[in-house]
Amino acid sequence: MGPMTTPGIDDVRLAAVRIAPFVHRTPVMTSASLDALVGAPVRFKCEHLQRAGAFKYRGATNAVQALDAATAARGVAAHSSGNHAAALALAAATRGIPCHVVMPADAPEAKQAAARAYGATVVLCEPTLAARAETLAEVVARTGAVEIHPYDHPDVIAGQGTATLELLEQAPAVRTVVAPVSGGGLLSGTAIAAHGTDPSISVIGAEPANVDDAHRSLAAGRLVTDRNTTSIADALLAVLSERTLSILSAHQVEVVTVTEDEIVDAMALVFERLKQVVEPSAAVALAGVAALVRTGAPPPGEVGVILSGGNVDLAALPFDRRVTGTSAPAGRGKR
Amino acid sequence: MGPMTTPGIDDVRLAAVRIAPFVHRTPVMTSASLDALVGAPVRFKCEHLQRAGAFKYRGATNAVQALDAATAARGVAAHSSGNHAAALALAAATRGIPCHVVMPADAPEAKQAAARAYGATVVLCEPTLAARAETLAEVVARTGAVEIHPYDHPDVIAGQGTATLELLEQAPAVRTVVAPVSGGGLLSGTAIAAHGTDPSISVIGAEPANVDDAHRSLAAGRLVTDRNTTSIADALLAVLSERTLSILSAHQVEVVTVTEDEIVDAMALVFERLKQVVEPSAAVALAGVAALVRTGAPPPGEVGVILSGGNVDLAALPFDRRVTGTSAPAGRGKR
């Protein structure tokens, strides 16, 4: 596939078959009190219960399993500071091939340890994008490994779409699917899977206002990646690629932005009402739904929300910094 | 039923039928990394996903639904500082009858608010057991409401046993069931349900070493309630009654004690490996299993663990006080 190959619904369906022996079919959860808050039934797709703790394992597994035997034998490689590293490491280990992960030297020790625990060779580099790209190029040149990009890769995008394919099987009345957006791999796969199932389903991305390049790029019709700062949603710091921008544009995906406080409040709702441990980035989609409801533009019909990952540092949970307190104790535990 | 009526397996089976329209059939979860830690498959019964956030709703619902119409119309009452208050309030609201809950004035605001949100009349009193009993007697005398004791009540015990009845249907290979013990309602119901299903199943209670009256009472063959202090497992501060002691003795239930650090470590394992939000008291059973494994006396065969509740104050999570750190990041998210 060429550099601008974009997958279609058939690729997502093929991915679903290809990865079925390796991935969890994650459950869908609900909460009566969250339904009341949103004013519509909300179906949470629990990808924080996926292997390696995030949806990333779907895309990584699809890309690794799609390789021909000779290519696969040379191994795979990526640079990542987050969930893609662990996901690719586990996907490679499952196929029994080498995996090289380039990580910035300041990546959390736990993330480095997770990649190593799954058998990857971790190569540390300076914490700049330039150093990461350069080090990865060196690793690829030295080992012959094939790069598996965390989102700018058609097999990865198709793999991520399988979460929505499952969600729409498990909750067929869903009329809107909401997913977080970072580089756009998950959101692109979500749009392809949703519209391939039913073109009338609304697809909405949710993004930290601090890192709103997807929102601005879709508005401008071209990549706009300046002005990004940082966010507690530390898995959402990447920027769209030409490929993911073109997919999201073609599917007329809307992107809603949320504040840091809204992310923490949504995360508290997931902990208190669903009793599920998710990372801040995984709460961004619910924060987006809440923002739409608050501004009088609720998403149409039954809502599917992708809970994208659960790899959170328990020693750094953000609940001491809650300010707005949307999460009243009254409904705690109501389901 | 008289003061020392003890329920049997038929009462648990009747309770299961009676409460089925009202309770969640909670899921059973697993984790490959926790299986490896324990050295046997572990099946977690997710009562933190029960309505009102704890198994308590089973017993409260069974007791409330078992009342004849005339008695029920007078309402129900209890004193409680914890999950029984919310559970009884919701059970009464579901039947459309009044509920009066006596709570110590220092009970967490969230617990008071939860009981009120479910429609209960909350009566505050001095934070002593004597004041609680006296205030409850006044409420009962004034309103004609019938007291539903949180554990020293045969219908409550039978209701709590339905969690294990379900667990053994969902995971029929389980050979040992482990539950936390406080006043002994859950553990008594667990023993009756397990042995009524298969007398060869081992039943183990787990208890904070700081509040080890069940362990000492079973050893002494009589109630021994001195020397209890307090515990982070704040739902486990009650003491056995003559009724629950006699049931646990008859079923030869073993009780293992765990330290405060072991409780926090087990709670971290549930958060990190299962990605589930539980309260400290709910982690005590897994802490007990870990303690048995560590001392070279692992529970026999496949293990069922009751995750009893999820009503935890997010602002007071204890992960900054972890000391022993059994919870390495390596296996995070492995399932």
pLDDT tens track for B145-162: 999 999 999 999 999 999
- What is the reported pLDDT for B227? 81
Residues of chain A that touch chain B, judged by Cβ-Cβ distance less than 8 Å: 24, 27, 48-54, 86, 109-110, 113-114, 116-117, 268, 271-272, 275-278, 310-311, 314-315, 317, 319-320, 322, 328-335
> What is the structure's pLDDT at A81?
78
| CA–CA dist A36, A46 (Å, integer) | 20
Q: Is B17 exposed, middle or buried (0-12, 13-18, 19+ CB in 10 A)?
A: exposed
Beta carbons of A27 and B27 less than 8 Å apart:
yes
Would you list which residues of chain B are within 8 Å, Cβ to Cβ, of chain A?
24, 27, 48-54, 86, 109-110, 113-114, 116-117, 268, 271-272, 275-278, 310-311, 314-315, 317, 319-320, 322, 328-335
Contacts of A34 (CB under 8 A, 6+ apart): A42, A269, A273, A274, A286
Position A326 confidence tier, pLDDT thresholds 50, 70, 90: very low
Nearest C-alpha in B relative to A276 = B276
Per cent of chain B over pLDDT 70 is 95
pLDDT of residue B331: 33
Name the residue facing A335 among B49, B317, B329 (closest C-beta). B49
- Quote the pLDDT of residue B322: 56
Q: Considering the domain B57-147, what is its CATH architecture?
A: 3-Layer(aba) Sandwich (3.40)
Average pLDDT, integer, range A127-132: 91
The encoded tokens of residue B155 equal 């219908």
B207, two tokens:
């208890």
Mean pLDDT of A299-327: 81
The domain ranges of chain B are: 9-54+153-331, 57-147
- CATH architecture, domain A9-54+153-331: 3-Layer(aba) Sandwich (3.40)
Tokens 């830690």 belong to B37
CA A50 to the chain's CA centroid: 12
Share of chain A above pLDDT 70, in %: 95
Q: Which of B56, B90, B275 to mutate to test the interface with A (most CBs of A within 10 A)?
A: B275
A113 to B272: CB separation less than 8 angstroms, yes or no: no
| A38 to A160, A259, A293, B142: CA distances (angstroms) | 26, 18, 6, 41
Q: Give the DSSP per-residue string, A126-189.
A: -SSHHHHHHHHHHHHHHH-PEE--SSSSHHHHHHHHHHHHHHHHH-TTEEEEEEE-SSSHHHHH
Q: If you average pLDDT over residues A191-196, what whole number do you get?
A: 98
Residue-level pLDDT at B109: 83
The question of ipTM being above 0.90 is answered as yes
**B103 vs B90: CA distance, rounded Å:** 16
Q: pLDDT tens for residues A12-66?
A: 999 999 999 999 999 999 999 999 999 999 999 999 999 999 999 999 999 999 9
Asked whether this chain's domains B9-54+153-331 and B57-147 adopt the same fold, the reply is yes
Per-residue pLDDT averaged across A141-164, rounded? 98
From B109, B329, B334, residue closest to A110, measured CB to CB: B329
List of chain B residues whose C-beta atoms are within 8 Å of the C-beta of residue A120: none
Mean pLDDT over each residue of chain A, to the nearest integer: 93
Q: Which of the four pLDDT bands, split at 50, 70 and 90, describes residue A316?
A: confident
Quote the percentage of chain A above a pLDDT of 90.
Answer: 86
User: Cβ contact (<8 Å) for A276 and B272?
Assistant: no
* Stated pTM of the model: 0.93
User: Which residue is listed with tokens 């183990």?
Assistant: B204
Does A54 contact B333 at a Cβ distance shorter than 8 Å? yes
Sheet-wide strand order for B146-147: B121-125, B99-104, B76-79, B146-147
What is the Cα A268 distance to its own chain's centre? 19
Would you say A248 and A189 are in contact if contact means Cβ atoms under 8 Å apart?
A: no
Residue A232 confidence (pLDDT): 95
* Low-confidence residues in chain B, pLDDT < 50: 1, 323-335
Are B112 and B103 contacting, i.e. CB atoms less than 8 angstroms apart? Answer: yes
So what's the pLDDT on residue A322?
Answer: 55
Asked if A276 lies within 8 A of B277 by C-beta distance, the reply is: yes
* CA pair distance B103, B132, nearest whole angstrom: 7
Whether A163 shows a pLDDT value over 80: the answer reads yes
Least Cα separation, residue A175 to chain B (angstroms): 26
Beta-carbon count within 10 A of A8 CB: 14
